[in-house]
Amino acid sequence: MSNAECVRCHQRIGAEWSGSLHQRAWDDPTFLAAYAVEPMAFCRNCHAPEAADTEDERRHEGVSCVTCHVLARDVVGARDVVGARDEGGGEHPVLVEPAMATSAWCASCHEFDFPRPQAAKMQSTMSEHRRSAHRARSCQECHMPEVEGADGTHRSHDFRVQGDEALMASALSVTASSVDTRRVEVTLRVAEVGHAVPTGDLYRRLVVRAVDAGGQAARPVVLGRRFSRVHHPDGDERRQVGDDRVPADGRPRRAELFFLQPFVLPVRWEVVYQRMGPREAAVFGVDMSTDETVMSRGRIEDTK
């Protein structure tokens, strides 16, 4: 069965999936810009898993219904719908695989090594999840919530994170206070999230910024994974040399912001999510001024 056939019958789920980052995993302009720099067959395993090569039209299906639901020739589902099929005339048998409702179903793409393996992984969402206070909750519980449709509820398939400001805001619990008249300390902890923040792609980062009542800005602090370029005979490679994201296990991450002049109260602070830093944005053609999300913000009204 082709993907177009699944979408034709499963219209609501098809509509959620169309335009999702799973559907656009190949067509995503940021992916295409990065792929132009590093055109490796390895990338296509996850960004165009149904396509045999870079000409195959199925690359535009990205991570499709078929990718997640068809094993050999069987349609796989998490639950037994034999009853529903017998009554309503479902058109195909469903092989019930309870593992589909568990995080393991996401593992093959959401955790992987660099093309040349090193101690750090290129993405490590699964192992972050194992260290999380929310490890008993599956990826699906947060990323495929039950939503209402015309004929009952179903698990949402839009997998949306970027653009969902409420979901992003739920990830962090942040407090801030003054240390002295020039320094402000911002403390970040994970809240309703099952992995480090940010997780996923290696360039994801948080920027902690503050500005005083007189418009004086503190030097921003960037939290993310840090890499250095290491020479390798087959081409230079990125080697991870630091990771100061907000840890999955609930430990605090502190950012200290410095003002050059004593600040004027109140000081306004914010924690902003960016997909990448300015260097990658320039290479990938991303306009950083419109491509960020405020995850948390507040004011410091008094000094200690």
Residues 78-117 that bind ligand HEC (CB under 6 A): 78-79, 81, 84-85, 88, 90-92, 94, 100-101, 103, 105-106, 108-110, 112
- 142 with 158: CB under 8 angstroms? no
- Helix-then-strand count for the chain, H and E: 11, 15
C-alpha 206: how far from chain center = 13
Residues 213-222 as b/e (b if ≥16 CB within 10 A, e otherwise) read eeeeebeebe
Q: Which positions from 164 through 183 interact with ligand HEC, judged by CB under 6 A?
A: 167-168, 170-171
- 303 with 204: CB under 8 angstroms? no
Tell me whether residue 112 or residue 259 sits nearer to ligand HEC (CB atom): 112
In angstroms, what is the minimal distance from the CB of 260 to ligand HEC? 32
**Given 124, 125, 178, 296, the residue binding ligand HEC (CB under 6 A):** 125
Tell me whether residue 51 or residue 211 sits nearer to ligand HEC (CB atom): 51
Q: Which positions from 184 through 223 interact with ligand HEC, judged by CB under 6 A?
A: 192-195, 197-201, 204
Q: Of the listed pieces 50-58, 159-167, 216-224, 258-266, which binds ligand HEC according to CB under 6 A?
A: 159-167
Q: Is 299 in the site for ligand HEC (CB under 6 A)?
A: no
Q: Which positions from 269 through 288 interact with ligand HEC, judged by CB under 6 A?
A: 275
Amino acid letter at 20?
S
Q: Of the listed pieces 52-60, 137-145, 176-184, 260-268, which binds ligand HEC according to CB under 6 A?
A: 137-145
In DSSP notation, 13-56 reads HHHHHTTSTTTTTTT-HHHHHHHHHS--HHHHHHHSTT-SSTT-
Please tell me the distance from the alpha carbon of residue 160 to that of residue 300, in angstroms, as a whole number: 32
Please tell me the distance from the alpha carbon of residue 92 to that of residue 166, in angstroms, as a whole number: 37
Nearest to 212 by CA among 258, 277, 280: 258
- Largest Cα–Cα distance in the chain? 74
Number of residues that bind ligand HEC (CB under 6 A): 87
**Given 12, 60, 121, 137, the residue binding ligand HEC (CB under 6 A):** 137
In angstroms, what is the minimal distance from the CB of 52 to ligand HEC? 15
C-alpha 145: how far from chain center = 16
Q: Which positions from 2 through 61 interact with ligand HEC, judged by CB under 6 A?
A: 5-7, 9-10, 13-14, 17, 21-22, 25, 28, 30-31, 34-35, 38, 40, 42-43, 45-47, 49
